[in-house]
Chain A
Amino acid sequence: MLIYRVSRVLNLAHGELMMLAAYILISLTTLLGSHPVGALAGAVALSLLVGLVLYVVLMRRMTGELVIAAVLVTIALGILLRGVMVLGWTGRTYHPMQQLGWENKAIALGGGMTASTVALATVGMAVLLYCGLFAFFQFTQWGVRMRAVGENPLLASQRGIALHATYALAWALATLTGGLAGILIALDSGLDTTMAVVGLKAFPAALVGGLGSLRGAVVGSMIVAAAEVLAIHYIDPLVSDVVPFVVLIVMLLIRPWGLFGTEEEIERV
């Protein structure tokens, strides 16, 4: 979503990039077994680096090319990454939480509800990230520049904003936040090659909310999550992976630009 907002390129390798961060954590844990915090920080930092490197070696050439071509490149990247990850880390399921020697305690929330520590941490992290990104886009020089590039790259570059630097920053931020999400999910529910589906579910959430809108992403993911939980409860747990996409299709029929998107954004894609 971040990348889309700045460069209008839908990054369809997002799920794979999330997974990559989690796998990196696994490897770092085995390498520096005695420093769980170091392993976590290293994995987060490396996922940021991955974004930068990907932009510089792969997506940089796509700047100024057709958006659809760049989107296709991200699909190819996703397939490639998945292959590499299966080869590198095999398809077996990992439990990084155990490897780190931590326990995922269930915490009572009252009213008979419980939540795992990691799940709570995930929610906390999401809130933190949301506020952080919001402040970044709203109040910092680079954030305003990124929004300017997102609206009109030509004018932005005529105003002296270096497009490559801005896009690289967007990729780094996106893989950083995605990587964090991937790590947290792996900590909570283990890691195997199906995790990319979770990343894929982010697209219905983003599309329902309106692409490129931070507020939209939050509301969209709540709607999608609520629909999923209701479906698990009242229909069948097996349908849960399908529900987000059903919501997406319904939404696209009613209001194709999403809740918070603008009509004109649709035309550009």
Chain B
Amino acid sequence: MNAAAPLLRLEQVEVVYQKVITAVHGVSLEVPAGQIVVLLGANGAGKTTTLRAVTGFLGSDDARVTDGKIWFEAHAIENCPPHTVAARGIALVPERRKVFETLTVLENLQAAVPSGIRGRAARRERIDQVFDQFPRLAPARGRLAGYLSGGERQMLAMGSALIGAPRLLLVDEMSLGLAPRIVEELLERLVALKKALGLTVLLVEQSAHLALEVADYGYIMESGRVVLDGTAERLRGHGDVQEFYLGMGGGPDRRSYRDVKQYRRSRRWFG
């Protein structure tokens, strides 16, 4: 697949909630340095849980990686607390509650500046970089983040994640509730960052269209398992992906990918 050693590697990762609910069953995937990888799948497939397994759980999540390994370069990071994972250079833009709503835009960015950066001037510089990257945030710097629009919120969340200069960025459902235009703009920003800084990105998406345009490689999850993977090109051309994730062909009842596989297999046996 890829000759270079991957930046992030999941080996047979299993995640269990509340000691009984297994949400992810043995997922393996690789994110090579400098690439954009997309993780696709329907609601409840376990995409968010997979990302959370990488960034770490708090006690209140009552979740654990019960099996498998998560490697970030040479470090095993499964079940590490989130702030140590962040310190290694992994940043997450979560699916929901992605900004501190009772803090202003500026304070959101201040809170996200890593403690390693000392001095008011140095911190200021980092914050100004974010305002340069997302010019639409600059005029809103004094506003409470709870009053931002969905698009501004997403920009602030990405800015807060990028302010620590991470090496790996995880983005959960960026397109949720946003106009396609804004999603396109944000994806372009990611591609630009990838080219300029060599940023590595793992995107989680339900809508495959835009994501597969910018991604290098893709994985498809169903019921806590990876059922298909390949280069973005191959996935775009794959019949089943076209049918179930790109909304091409296929009827109005979009059944799950696995059901259909099952159905085809049985047709092969009996038909």
Chain A residues proximal to chain B, CB less than 8 Å? 63-65, 141, 144-145, 147-148, 151-163
Contact = CB atoms under 8 A, between A and B. Distances in A.
Give the 8 A-B CB pairs with smallest separation, nearest first: A64-B59, A160-B86, A148-B111, A157-B82, A64-B60, A159-B112, A158-B82, A157-B83
B102 to A, nearest CB: 5
Contacts of B123: 141
The range of chain B's interface size is 20 to 34
B107 A147 contact: yes
B103 A64 contact: no
Contacts of B102: 147, 151
A152 B100 contact: yes
B101 A162 contact: no
A151, A154, A159, A161 interface centre (most CB from chain B within 10 Å): A159
Interface of B: 55-56, 58-61, 81-83, 86-87, 91-92, 94, 97-103, 107-108, 110-115, 123, 160-161, 164
Contacts of B108: 148
27 contacts: A65-B59, A65-B60, A141-B113, A144-B107, A144-B110, A145-B111, A147-B102, A147-B107, A148-B100, A151-B101, A152-B97, A155-B97, A156-B100, A157-B56, A157-B58, A157-B81, A157-B82, A157-B83, A158-B55, A158-B56, A158-B83, A158-B86, A158-B94, A159-B111, A160-B83, A160-B115, A161-B111
Contacts of B94: 155, 158
Given A152-B97, A153-B58, A157-B81, 8 more contacts: A65-B59, A141-B113, A147-B111, A157-B86, A158-B82, A159-B164, A160-B83, A160-B86
Contacts of A161: 83, 111
B59 to A, nearest CB: 2
Contacts of A141: 110, 113, 115, 123
A64 B60 CA distance: 4
B112 A154 contact: no
Nearest to A157: B82
Contact of A144 (B55, B81, B82, B103): B103
B60 to A, nearest CB: 5
Contacts of A65: 59-60
A65 B58 CA distance: 10
Contacts of A159: 86, 91, 111-112, 160-161, 164
Contacts of B82: 154, 157-158
A155 B81 CA distance: 12
A154 to B, nearest CB: 6
Contacts of B100: 147-148, 151-152, 155-156
A63 to B, nearest CB: 6
A158 B94 CA distance: 9
Most buried by B among A63, A155, A163: A155
Nearest to B93: A158
Nearest to B96: A155
A156 B97 contact: no
Nearest to A62: B59
A170 to B, nearest CB: 15
Contacts of B83: 157-158, 160-163
